Structure formats: structure tokens, C-alpha cells
Amino acid sequence: MTDQALAKTKSAEPWRQRLIRSLLYGRNVDRTAKARARVGFAILAFAAIYAVLAGRLVMFAVGADSHGARRTASQDAIATARPDIVDRNGEVLATDVKAPSLFGEPRRIIDKDEAIELLTATLPDLDTGEVRDRLSSKKGFVWLKREITPTQQLDIHRLGIPGIGFLRENKRVYPTGAEVAHLIGLVNIDNQGIAGMEKWLDNNGLADLHRAGFATDRLQKPVELSVDLRVEHALRDELMKAKEKFKAKAASGIVSNVKTGEIVALVSLPDFDPNNPREAHDPDRINRLTTGVYEMGSTFKAFTLAMALDSGKISLNSMWDARGNLHYGKFTIHDSHSLGRFINTKEVFTYSSNIGAARIALGQGVEAHKAFLAKMGQLHRLRTELPESASPLVPRRWSELNTVTIAFGQGLSVAPLQAVMGINALMNGGYLIPPTFMKRSEEEAMALAKRVIKPETSDKMRFLMRLNAEVGTAKTADVKGYYVGGKTGTSEKVINGRYAKKQVLNSFTAIIPADNPQYQLLVMLDEPKTTPETHGFITSGWNAVPTGGKVIARIAPLLGIEPRFDLPPSDRLILAASKPTQ
């Protein structure tokens, strides 16, 4: 066809067809070349589609667990990441490590019976019925076993079961084991805090960060506690030895900074290993220092004397009638070592006279006694970072008889940490400072402090504590060079509504050094037994006091307290530096 004829044909073609042909083929284009280009483009498109499909098949083959990981990682792995917990020197007390967990996708499992048989043979502790129920469900994802070992993971991986995979989760581990168990607490299988400082972290923002997705793995600042792991170890070691030596039911202790309220060490035996959570459920392994409440015995005489001295109504030389027992109604108050004479205030403390303490408290009056103990934080529940705490057992109707018995430590039960807080105030110049398990400076402590007694009253109480280590019931804890002060306590336990003379709770409160107190130590032994060394005695001076002395000898150098020798007695070193006393 000639060009002229072709032009006539195009001119005869409707304009709509010419437009479509122009859009499809363009103008003056070789149709043969255009056809080859289209075929090549189609080949490339199909090749790309098949490449994508092949790639997805390879991903499923070599990364079976990634499917479940996408579903649960944000909820189980990243969301449960926790910050490290360290002691005041940076030693790790709790941290996260990665551990594989086994999961199944029931919809992808081809032969469930075979899968169940292989899995239970590889992991004998799996419950066959439970695994069958989970793999027979219509869910897209089920846990089969949390926190398996790498060896178990490899064995299961070699089985090549479709629909079975692994997810790496954060697992909480405690490198120090039981050393700080009651303080640190523990977490559950989902890495959520359920006790101790771990629970406190969740209650104070960590759980909210998890829900918001901001608590990402390893990006959280370590939590610094006030505890010193070295002191904690020394205290626990000596308490374990004492518990075994005196066949005690339990043993516990606290080391507290009297100027900041920081808890430097806290031990309650028997304890548990937070790496083995089952042990924590034993009811005998409670934290006796915060969740237990006890009659603290003669250590409460420190409060009784401080109350009276602070009122100005008595002096260190006031005299008290201890010639015979004190009869109050049908009750008789007696001393374990009767002196049969008038004694002064100093002797009431050093001889631990129940009669003298009762007469001092009666002289102040019921309302004044009750008000003073309330001011010292002994009548209300103590709140700290530890969620576990108990309310004191306070008499419903506070009569004169209650004042008589509480004066020497019977009839009022408090958490030992409460008593430590109160004694700190008697020693540090008169400031009641809330205890804490977090690092705190003296400036921060003073911002929270409340004055409860006069500075000169604190001087007199430090003098009495030191005097008791020089000539009184705390002599066996007087470690040379550290100017120890202390007060003993032996409280008979109430068994079936009666006080049992052979079942006692012994305590010993020590301060170091007595002329300028830095730290307080509390040692408690529950139901210690006699030994040949104690000559049949079970009172505090024969067991809790020497245990306290051994603890002081070990922890004083760790706390940076330098030994000083040839120091003058307490009346010259402590009282001489204070205001004149009567």
C-alpha cells in the first residue's frame, strides 16, 4: 500500500480509534520492537513475583520462630525489660539475661500427636495433657515452656517440627543469690516484680513504662540502693553462724546509717534464693524485720528514759525504788537481777531494771507516754520502699498497766525496723528520719527530718548506751577501738496466751561510735538455746550481744570507721562535751 493510500485509510479511520492507537503505540513507532519490549517486561514481572514467593518460603524454613516473635515480642520480651539493681558501690544485685522460651502455633502443626510425643520425650517435665490441650486449641500462639536451656532449644530445633518455635525473653537473674533476698525481692515468670524492691519498681512507674512501650531493653538507668553488699555478706555470715550455734529458730539484723536513715544491710534468716522462686513461698521465710511485729523487750527502755529525760522532770542521778517487786493490781513486776535498793537513772539502764523503767514511765503519765511513742513513730505502720510491712499491735485501751509494761518492752509489738528508726533519733541529735533503701545524702535526710527530742537528751542517751558497754549488759560487744554503745533486750514470747520463760526473742542494739554515732546495728535471735558457754542462760547478753560484737569487728572497717584507742570513759568523752547535767 502506497503512502498516499495509507494516508487516505488513516483519514477515513474514526477519530476515537486514532486517539487510542496513538496512546497505545505512539506516533511513528515500530510495532515489532514495541511487542518485544512488552514480552520482556512481562517476563521480568513474573520473575520478580516468583522471587518474592521463594524468599518468603526460605524465611519460613530457616526462621520459624520469627512468626511468633512478631506477635509477642512487644508484649513479652521488650515490654518486660527491667533496669539493673546495684548496691551503693555499683555491684550488680539483679539484672536481665536472654533466655529462650518454647511456643507453638497450633494452626501450623501438621501432626499434633507426633509433635506432642517428640516434645514430651525431649522435655520430660512437660505435662502431656496440658501440651495436648494447648496444641489442640484454635489459638494462633500458645506457650509450651518458658525459660528453657540452650541445650533444650537445640534438641527441639533438631526435631524440625513445623509450628514449633522459640522466643528469646528477658529472664531476671540474681548474681548474689540469697545474700539480699528479702531486700531485692523477686519477679514472676513474666518478669514482673512481686516482692521487695522489684515490686516497688513496678509500683513506681516501671509497669507504666512497660504498658507505654518505653521501657526498652537495656536502655534503662540502673537503680542504686543504699545497701552495701560487703556489709550485707558479713552480717549474714555472722547471723548464720549464730543461728546454727544457738539452734535458733530464726536470726535477723539491720545496719542503718543514723544520720541519713539509709539501710546499709538487712538480713532475715531463713531466707531464700530469688533465682528459685518456690523457696519464697515458705511461710517461715518472711522478712521478719518489716513484716513481723514483736515485743522488743528492754531495748524499749531507751524510749522510756529518753521521754523522761527530755521532759526535764528527771536527771541521770534521780533515784528510784528497786528494793522489792512492784505490785500493780494482780500483776507483779520484778527484775531478773534484783538489787534490793534504790538505784539511779543510769543504773536503771545498765542493770536493765523493769521496776525502775515502770516507775519512770508512771511518773510521766499515760497520755505523755503514749504521745511520746507516737512522736517516735512507734504506734503507726512504717512505710518504706519495701511493700511488705506490718502495722504495730497497739493496746485498744491504753491504761496505766499498759504504760507500766510497755515501759520495759512488753504489751506493744512493732516492726524491728520501726524500733531502729526511733533509736536512730535518740542517737543522732534528736531527728526522726524515715528509713530508706535508696541512696540518700545527709542534706536530703535533713529535709525530711523532724526533731523529736532535745540535743542534750540525745547526748545523755549516747552516754547511757556507751556506759552500758563499759559496765552493763553489753560488755561482750565492746570491740576495742570502736567505742561501742548498746542496749540488750530479752522478751518472753507469748505462747497460748501466756509468756513462756524458755522461749524468748533476744535483741541487741548497738551504735558505733558512741561519741559521734554513724551507724546502728540491730541483731535478733528467735528462740536461742543454751550452750555449754552460756551456762544454762538464754538471755540476750549470752548470745545476741557477742554476735553483735563479731559483726561490728567485721563491718566497722568496711564502713570506713577508723579504730581509736585509749579513749576516756563515757562520762568524760560524751557528757563533758554536752551541756552540764545534774
Query: What residues are labeled active site?
Result: 298
> Residue 370 corresponds to which cell in the numbers above?
503514749
Nearest to 201 by CA among 91, 83, 287, 286: 83
> Residue 278 corresponds to which cell in the numbers above?
518456690
Tell me the angle at which helices 455-471 and 301-311 cross, rounded to the nearest 10 degrees: 140
d(CA 520, CA 555) in angstroms, rounded, equals: 11
Q: What's the DSSP call for residue 221?
A: P
Q: What's the DSSP call for residue 449?
A: -
Name all contacts of 68-74 with Cβ < 8 Å and 24+ positions apart: 68/103, 68/105, 68/141, 68/165, 68/167, 69/165, 69/167, 71/140, 71/141, 72/103, 72/141, 72/167, 73/167, 74/213
Is the link from the previous residue into 270 a cis peptide, with omega within 30 of 0? yes
User: Hey, is 523 helix, strand or coil?
Assistant: strand
> Residue 50 corresponds to which cell in the numbers above?
516468583
Number of H helices, E strands in the chain: 21, 20
Nearest to 491 by CA among 561, 546, 414, 418: 414
d(CA 298, CA 305) in angstroms, rounded, equals: 11
Place of cell 527491667: 82
> Residue 83 corresponds to which cell in the numbers above?
533496669
**Burial tier of 245 (Cβ tally within 10 Å: 0-12, 13-18, 19+):** middle
Length of the chain: 582
Question: What are the DSSP calls for 172-211, one per residue?
Answer: EE-TTTTTTHHHH-EE-TTS-EEEHHHHHHIIIIIHHHHH
> Residue 410 corresponds to which cell in the numbers above?
512488753
Question: What are the DSSP calls for 25-80, one per residue?
Answer: H-SS--HHHHHHHHHHHHHHHHHHHHHHHHHHHHHHHH-THHHHHHHHIIIIISTT
Burial 119-133 (b: 16+ CB within 10 A, else e): beeebeebeeeebee
